[in-house]
Structures are given as structure tokens and as C-alpha cells.
Amino acid sequence: MSKQFIGAVDQGTTSSRFLIFDNEGNLVTFHQVELPQSNPQLGWLEHDPLDILNTVLECIDKTIHRFELMGYDVKDIKGIGVTNQRESAVAWNKKTGEPLRNTIVWSDVRTDELVHKLNKRDDAHIVKELAGLDLASYFTAVKIKWMLDNDEQVKEAVKENNACFGTVDSWLIYKLSGGVAHVTDVTNASRTLLMNLKTLQWDDQLLKFFEIPKSGLPKLCSSSEVYGEVKLGISLDGIPIAGCLGDQQAALLGQKCFAEGEAKCTFGTGAFMLFNTGTKPVVSSHGLITTVAFKLGKDEPAVYALEGSMAVAGSSLRWLRDNLRLIKTMEEVSDLAEHVADTGGVYFVTAFSGLFAPYWRDDARGTMIGLTSYTNKHHLARATLESMSFQSRAILDSMNQDAGTPLKVLKVDGGVSNSNIAMQIEADLLGITVHRPSMRETTAFGTAIAAGLAVGVWKSVHELDAVNEKDITTFTPKLTEQEREERYGVWKKAVESSLHWTDDVEDNL
């Protein structure tokens, strides 16, 4: 049988990419473009939706050009999938297809005051009960509500029944399909605060709570089905758009965590640990999120996961580079950290916009403690890497308590996972084995799996059991349990010192 190929749009917080995989799961080629960032005010982060689209189109164009130079035919690409930064909110005009305003990115905290106000309502409990999520600034609904309350163009479009809302996957599929398909999948919808986690439908009570019109929302679909065809006057025209997952769920699928009890952690801009809990949602009592992991077909059952999210991971390395000018490239952090055996007593809580799971404290701010005249840039670099692993440890403890079965192996991916020292620190501070696959484009591969299943490239996920199993790098713990627990105890004190900063300090800025 001649080779078949699947394309994958991977649209992230800081870059866009297009990748092509063959039917044996091998990465054939890709192209990546950095995405411009906008910080109009303190704590705000926005993307221009047209920048999101145009960077994706540039990646498609460059990747296809390279693909054809390699001797392949674009007609052998049987479908494409889309995976995306989650929770970011996009609004556009139904008639013109043009954005109504900039995208409000997932880590933006302008809605903190709104969230506090909503949490004080007598009926606020329905949000957790129906959506499975805490009412926090992280999620999409509060961003859409902020638009409805504060943006005149959005208000006017709603009055005229001419507003479309969605997450980044909805925007991209809408544009790629030539304005035909206004859809989202249940993994992305499970992050909005608007979908009922059990019925997998937009929930009327939640829509009423946030005062968001259902008419502007996308159609809810599974993660693996044909949503439409590419119709944008590009080389991919006519090819089915057949897979859609939020980036972290896509990485869970791409890491082949198909079975209950398997888990992965992706270290990107933020870091996200997901634990497959099977076909029944597990409600966390330890600060985690209950989310849809994937639904691989219209008639297939949804698989759920527990998730712990860290707002800051790779972005802390960018902070060392761009804000402190401590390094010239983010890769230098590993080299610096390897020069010292420990942090010299320094602990760095990277709560630049509060702490996510399992703390959920928007009053926390970045805190570095234990500084002495002995401290140097090597200690700071190592403390920055350790901060990710300490937060991972807090999440892992919560997962073990909620799931009832301690995790023994963690699969890792994302940019920071390329660092051997970072992953050794991860194993040391978690006290479990860490597995890093040789092919680490697992987020894109996850949506390629979903698309490939929908268009018949694969009949079952188990056809992929042998994919990416060679050359796995294994990191095993080297710290004693006593050393690990002592250091984690100090980390907990550091977290306590990072809290309550917004109570007084920011009021006086």
C-alpha cells in the first residue's frame, strides 16, 4: 500500500506550526512561526486572530513546499487535524468573518474581579456541579462575558445576532473551511465553563449564569469526525478537516495514554499533567480539574481525565531571557543549572499571574526566597527548573489521592522536556520514573491520530501501539525519600510566602 499522510495544525500560545505524519506515525516535515504577543495592560495578554490565522497559513505553505520537494504529493494527505491553545476566547463577525476584537489568551487575568463577583452569587455552585470546573479567570466563559460587558463591537454584533464566539480551534476551522464550519470538539468545550460534563452539550443553566447567547456558540462535535473541507484557495483545498482537540488532550492521545491510569505532562509555555480516568468523570476533591480527554468518533464514548495546570513553565525561561537578560537563549538555562549540584537554598515560586492547580490562588505573585551573597546565576537557573517540578509534585500528590492508585511512570513532552537536567530534576522531586519519547511532537501527533481515525488511515488506536516506542529516554529518581520530602517541605513554605500579595501591594501601585 502506498504511503498515506495526515497533516496537523498545532496552534500554541507563542507559535503556530503545521506538521505532516505518515501512516506509520513518523514525522515527515514541519514548519514553525512565532506568534506575536500583545500586553496592552498589566496582566493582560492578547493575540490578533488574524495573526493566528496568517501564521498557520504560512506554516502550511512552507511545510507543503518542503513536502513536495521531498518527492511527495499533497493529494496523499488524507486529512488534517487541529490542536490549539485552550481557553483563549475569540469573537468574530458572522457576516464578514472578520474578528470583532483581539483574542483574550488563556493566561490573561483581567477577569479576576469579575470572577470574584460571580463567585459571591448564591447560585455559583452550579458551575462546578455542571461543568466540573472551578469558577476561575483561566476559563473561556469569563473572557467572553468580559467582552460582552466591555467591548462595544461585540455588544453591537450580539444585538444584531451577528456574533460568533469560540476557542482558537473554532476560529481556525471556521476560516480554513471558508466560513462553512462553526464547530468545536468536546475537549475544548469542556474548558469553557459552558458545557455540561455529563451530557456533553451546552448547558442552558450555565449559559444563563454567564449571560452568553447560545446562538453565537459553535456546534459541539466529537474529537474525530469530518467537520468540513479546506476551502481557502490554498494547496490543501478539498482535504477533510477531521480531527480537533485542545492541545493538552491531544498530547495525552499522542503519548498513547489510551488506557485508564496512564498520565503525561507537557512542559510548554505552561505545564499540564493529565491522568486518564476512563469513561466516567472523576470529580477532584484536591484542587484538580475534571476534563474530557478525547471522544474518538460521534458514536464512541467520551474518555475523561484529571488535569493539573501550571500557568508558568517554559515562560519562566523566557522571563530569564527577556526580562532579566540573564541568558541569551532559553537552552542556556540547562547549561547554567548543570554547573551546580543544588540551588544554594534558593526557591522560586513562578506565580507571575497567580497559582493554578492545586492551589488556585490568584492573589499569589512570583517570589524568590533564600537569596544570599553566595547566590549566582547558576543557582537561579536551577531554581527556575526546580520550580516546575515542585509544582508537578503538588499536582501529582493530588492526582494520587483523587485516583486512588499512585502513578508510577510519567510520560513527558514539550519544549522543556528536551532538557536532560530538567527531566532528571522532575524524576528526583516526584520520586517516580519519567519517560521521554524520541519523537516529542506528541501534541500534533494526537490530533493527527484523531484525524487519521476519522478518514480511515487507521481503524483503531491499537494499530499505533508500536509507534514511538524505540529510544525512550528513562529518568529514575536519585534523591533519597528523606531529601525529597525535606526539600518539598521548604517549597511549601515558599508557596505560603507568595500568597496575599494582591491584597495590599497592587492596590498601591
459 shares its domain with 479: no
The residue range of the domain holding 421 is: 310-436+473-502
Pairing mode of beta strands 5-11, 77-84: parallel
Phi-psi region of 182 (alpha: psi -120 to 50; beta: other; left: phi over 0): beta
Instruction: Give just the sign of the alpha carbon dihedral 55, 167, 272, 502.
Output: positive
Residue 339 lies in a domain: yes
- The number of distinct structural domains making up the chain is 2
Residue 1 has pLDDT above 60, yes or no: no
**219 and 323 fall within a common domain:** no
CA distance 77 to 80: 8
Whether residue 174 is found in the same domain as residue 39: yes
- pLDDT tens for 333-380 read 899 999 999 999 999 999 988 888 899 888 899 999 999 999 999 999
Q: Is residue 67 part of a domain?
A: yes
pLDDT at 382 over 60: yes
Task: Note the pTM of the prediction, 2 decimals.
Answer: 0.88
> Do 215 and 364 share a domain, yes or no?
no
- Does 265 fall in a domain? no
Least confident of 13-17, 168-172, 326-330: 326-330
Report the length, in residues, of the chain: 509
- Tell me whether residue 201 is in a domain: yes
269 alpha-carbon distance from chain centroid: 8
CATH of the domain at 333: 3.30.420.40
> In this predicted structure, what is the pLDDT of residue 322?
87
Q: What is the pLDDT of residues 424-443, one digit of tens each?
A: 999 999 999 999 998 888 99
Among residues 79, 81, 68, 78, the alpha carbon closest in space to that of 28 is found at 68
Q: Note whether 443 and 429 are same-domain residues.
A: no
Residue 270 lies in a domain: no
Instruction: Answer yes or no: is 372 within a domain.
Output: yes
Q: Which residues lie across from 352 on neighbouring strands? A: 354
Q: Is the domain of 213 the same as that of 314?
A: no
Residue 22 CB neighbours (<10 A): 16
In a domain, 86, yes or no: yes
Is there a single domain that holds both residue 225 and residue 372? no
Burial readout 259-298 (b: 16 or more C-beta within 10 A, e: otherwise): ebebbbbbbbbbbbbbbbbeeebbebebbbbbbbbbbbee
Claim to verify: residue 326 and residue 248 sit in the same structural domain = no
Same-domain status, 408 and 455: no
Residues 444 and 483 in one domain: no
Distance CA 497, CA 500 (A): 8
| 410 and 457 in a common domain | no
Q: Is 263 contained in some domain?
A: no
| Residues 409, 318 within the same domain | yes
